[in-house]
Chain A
Amino acid sequence: MVSDGEKGKLEFLTEAEEIVEALGRDLVLLDESLRAGPADPDLVNDIFRGVHTLKGLAGLFGATHLSQLAHELEAKLDDVRLGRTVVTPEVLDVLFRAVDMSHRLLVAEQEQTPAPVDQLESLLTKLRGSQKQAAGATPTDDLDLDPSIFAVLTEYEEHRLRTNVEAGLKVYRLRVQFSLLTIDESLDQLKTTAKPHGEIITYLPTGEGAGVDSIELDILMASRRTLGELAELLSSTGADILEVPRKAKRRETLTSQPPPLDYGETGRLAAGGGDLDFPRGTQGDAERRPRRTTSIPPDGKVGSVRSVTQTVRVDIQKLDRLMNAVSELAIVKSSLDRLFERVRPMTSDRRGVAELLRLSRTFDRQLEAMQQGILEVRMVPLGQLFERLTRVARQVGRNAKKQFNLVVTGAETEVDKLIVEELSDPLMHMMRNAIDHGIEAVADRIAAGKPEVGTIALNAFQKGNHVLIELEDDGGGIDTERVMEVALQRGLINPADVRSTSRRDVLNLIFLPGLSTRSEASEISGRGVGMDVVKTNISKLGGVIDLQSEVGIGTKFAITLPITLAIIRVLVAEVERHTFAIPLANVREAVQLSESDVFTVDGHEAMTLRGSTLRLCRLSTIFELERSRAAPRSAKRFVVVTMAGSARLGLIVDGLIGGQDVVMKSLGPSLRSVRGFAGAADLGEERLGLVLDTPSLYEEIVASDRKRGALARPPS
């Protein structure tokens, strides 16, 4: 059992991870918005708040390193949002690295491994250094504002006000009344309406003019619009708008002349008094300016004080247990059905039988709904993973000095949570490869007559019960001759086979361990360790990876994955009284076998199916199953045509039992070394069937062919 402390820690890790994810997302947005113009102050402020919350969390749970990092990061972001630091690409880079480090620290915390202290130190130094580059602030004195306003403005708000005034924007005061019941929505609505026309600097309660169940707010907003325009644009909000005039002269009027203020032109919605009347109670401590004194919680705490969304975080293992319980229930149900069939002839109670049948059908329907429901809960959009990839791509691109646009589509495509987790590393690696080995240097691209800036496309979409993820680049493509050369050098391919090896097969050589075509391995992609791991990881998920590549045009990887791991549809087949389940995702068709159609090529069995040669594999041979006397040799056998990428393999079985939905369970650690099985599944009546791992069987056969070929014809 998990202790309360551990549980708390787990929740901390999950929440912190979510914040870090959000930070990364916002930084990517910031990066994009910076290309278009000045940084969006709201976005910067969001990032600041996120880091602030993270700092609090880390402190609470004694994550010292993370808290240290968040502290420095917060200071840096504070400088950014207060305009003391200009967001240059270098600054952005440090911010990205800090987010990355936060993630690594969390992982270290979770796995109880030592934190990368040295790298953290150097990052902290970077964060501390190079501050205060921006010009000193200019006073806002020429603005005819009640000094009491300044008293309640936070440093940040004052900075925003100043920035806007400097930029020549007009300052308006919007007075609105909100019902206390709906204040959150109303305020959000107002913000959304006003946002395109300017910047909301602050909102404060007036402390008057409102009934018991409503509140009056003064909103300070900067805008380029004239009062008339703004009044028109915001008419739906019911706000009473005044322009805060500027003074011709400097400070003395402000100090000598206390409120009430002299407002200029009044908007057409104007009503009642024009006083900018802020709660006096907050004026006292002008030095350490208080944050807002309304019912709105202090900065950065909004998320933790009140739950914003109606969601629950659930440990995936709990869902697995639930799924187990449901499948046990399904088994109990089928036993009940059998029992009922047995008892049925013995009863004359027709009405009772009819009632039982009806109940049984309802039961089945509900059971199915339950399974479906649990499956849906496990599904998450690929978006989170794609955002992480975008971040990595940006970083790698900078380091490798490559220029490219990353185009992402289908981020909303949903996949089983576990698959998303397992997909993370392979995709990261492929992305690195695309940037490092795919996209050429700018000069080379120009020389090749290609656009200067490369393109990497990351697409995801659903196709039946599968999800396809494609990673495509318009880079240099894979040089098959070079691949062949290296494969020959390393003895991965037989010289005699060079002519007969198809282009496709050569490309697939990159999935072999120890093949890297780049003469010098780069720091980013490493030395040919990778694509074999990528392939293994993906086939573990029941998926396949395929690639196409043309020299000078680009490379495209396509990963096909099942949508969920929990329940899979299998074809149950029998071989020598053993029962095996073959995932239907890997099955193309099943045909009857007539032994006379089988011929031998290069020492292995094959047959012709729909005009092309199909490699055959006898499961009884590959698994060395003892021949049972029960099955006569002449019995009709079947060929189950399975797919491994675009390659086909025909598995010879003795009999087909039928299709079934099963919950796949993994074999225990003691059987980890046994290859060829993806797991086991309960086939009913407490009988387990082994689920075949067809991609790995195919791999095995290809590998043994290669070995045999190399033995038969030793290289001269």
Chain B
Amino acid sequence: MTAMVRRARMAQRAVRTARAAERRPDEGAVTEYLGFRVASSSYALPVAIVREIVRSGQLTPVPRAPPGVLGISSFRGRVITVIDLGRRLGLASSVVQPAAGPVRVSRLRILMLDIGVETLGFLVDEVLMVYRLSARDIERATTVGSDVGNHVTGIARPAESEDVVLLLDPKALVP
């Protein structure tokens, strides 16, 4: 149910974004990106790989897991690995509580992404909106410093956003 509501909201936003795009003709092929916030920056990933956005539920931490792995969670009968995107990007963790015992991260969201053969969950601070971006809106990333640089494929300045949005490479997010 909640997923449907969310989808509907996303669709609404997409329509709004599309209208915004209409005002700027001559755009070329447009790809949809889902924007979200981690720490204080905005990021985006192709909508095509987003399977679902869920409120974070019960997480079971996994000892010995690679850094950035928050734990596992049950999602539609399957065991999904959930990753702290903030830590994965070398930024501040979205989880305040240290990883002992079931972690509750209730106001955050988990993006269920299809990456390669696996569905992985990524914890983000906030889901923003869907951006429709054409090649023109995207600058190739060459000089983004720090750890984030390895995960970023491009930088966009969508008309709807005042901030710069960093486009992430999904494959580089797998631990």
Contacts and interface: CB of A to CB of B under 8 A. Distances in A.
A665 interface: yes
A670 B81 contact: yes
A251 interface: no
B60 A579 contact: yes
A442 B73 CA distance: 60
Interface string B67-88: 0010011100111110000000
A280 interface: no
A393 B7 CA distance: 59
Contact of A578 (B57, B61, B66, B98): B61
B62 A674 contact: yes
Contacts of B64: 623-624, 674-676
B118 A578 contact: no
Interface in B96-121: 98-102, 116-120
A667 B79 contact: yes
A687 interface: yes
Contact-residue bracket for chain B: 20 to 34
A628 B100 contact: yes
A578 B120 contact: no
B72 A674 contact: no
B3 interface: no
Which one of A328, A671, A689 has the greatest number of beta carbons of chain B within 10 Å?
A: A671
Interface string B129-164: 000000000000000000000000000000000000
Nearest to B174: A670
A420 B12 CA distance: 52
Interface in A651-686: 665-671, 673-677, 679-680, 682, 685-686
A688 interface: yes
Nearest to B78: A665
Contact of A686 (B57, B66, B116): B57
Nearest to A689: B60
A576 B63 CA distance: 12
Interface in A311-331: 324-325, 327-328
B81 A668 contact: yes
A577 B71 CA distance: 14
A669 B117 contact: yes
Nearest to A626: B100
B102 to A, nearest CB: 7
A29 interface: no
Interface residues of A, number: 34
B58 interface: yes
A466 to B, nearest CB: 26
Contacts of A626: 98-100
Interface string A624-661: 11101000000000000000000000000000000000
Contacts of B62: 667, 671, 674, 677, 690
A123 to B, nearest CB: 36
A680 B102 contact: no
B175 interface: yes
B79 A665 contact: yes
A688 B65 contact: no
A577 B101 contact: yes
Contacts, number: 84
Interface in A351-407: none
Contact of B74 (A576, A674, A682): A682
Contacts of A327: 77
A624 B79 contact: no
Contacts of B66: 670, 673-674
Chain B contact residues: helix, strand, loop or mixed: loop
A568 to B, nearest CB: 15
B101 A668 contact: no
A564 to B, nearest CB: 18
A462 to B, nearest CB: 30
A680 B78 CA distance: 10
B151 to A, nearest CB: 16
Contact of A687 (B69, B99, B102): B102
A680 B59 CA distance: 12
Contacts of B79: 665-668, 679-680, 688
A332 to B, nearest CB: 12
Contact of A674 (B65, B116, B174): B65
B58 A687 contact: yes
B74 A670 contact: no
Contacts of B117: 669
B72 A667 contact: yes
A148 to B, nearest CB: 66
Which one of B58, B63, B78, B120 has the greatest number of beta carbons of chain A within 10 Å?
A: B63
Contact of B69 (A324, A671, A690): A671
A578 to B, nearest CB: 7
B171 to A, nearest CB: 12
Nearest to B63: A623
Contacts of B63: 578, 623-625, 676, 690
A688 B72 contact: yes
A673 B116 CA distance: 17
Contacts of A675: 64
B117 to A, nearest CB: 6
Which one of B66, B98, B100, B119 has the greatest number of beta carbons of chain A within 10 Å?
A: B100
A671 B65 contact: yes
Interface string A682-712: 1001111110000000000000000000000
A704 B73 CA distance: 31
A668 B120 contact: yes
A425 B72 CA distance: 31
B101 to A, nearest CB: 4
26 contacts: A577-B101, A578-B101, A623-B64, A624-B63, A624-B64, A625-B63, A628-B100, A628-B101, A665-B78, A667-B81, A668-B81, A669-B116, A669-B118, A670-B66, A670-B174, A671-B72, A671-B81, A682-B74, A686-B58, A687-B60, A688-B58, A688-B72, A688-B73, A688-B74, A690-B60, A690-B63
Interface of A: 324-325, 327-328, 576-579, 623-626, 628, 665-671, 673-677, 679-680, 682, 685-690
Interface of B: 57-58, 60-66, 69, 72-74, 77-81, 98-102, 116-120, 174-175
* Across the A-B interface, the 5 shortest Cβ-Cβ residue pairs: A623-B63, A577-B101, A688-B60, A324-B77, A668-B81
Given A669-B117, A670-B81, A687-B102, 4 more contacts: A576-B100, A578-B63, A676-B63, A680-B72
